[in-house]
């Protein structure tokens, strides 16, 4: 990945909450979080 693009994306992830949540959604972090919650409630 181009160094400048990588730097810009990392800066956005640190500083832009909306962008951070959009990226998290695209990579499925919400699904992982939901799965963990389901596991905890099954105990």
3-state SS string for 1-41: CCHHHHHHHHHHHHHCHHHHHHHHHHCCHHHHHHHHHHHHH
Q: Give the angle 31-33-36 at the CA atoms, nearest 5°.
A: 110
pLDDT at residue 24, as a whole number = 87
Q: Is the dihedral of CA 6, 7, 13, 16 positive or negative?
A: negative
pLDDT, one tens digit per residue, over 2-33 is 989 999 999 999 999 999 999 988 888 888 88
């Amino acid at each position: 990945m181009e160094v400048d693009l990588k730097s810009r994306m990392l800066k956005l992830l640190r500083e832009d909450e909306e962008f951070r949540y959009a990226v998290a959604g695209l990579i499925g972090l919400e699904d992982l979080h939901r799965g963990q919650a389901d596991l905890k409630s099954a105990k």
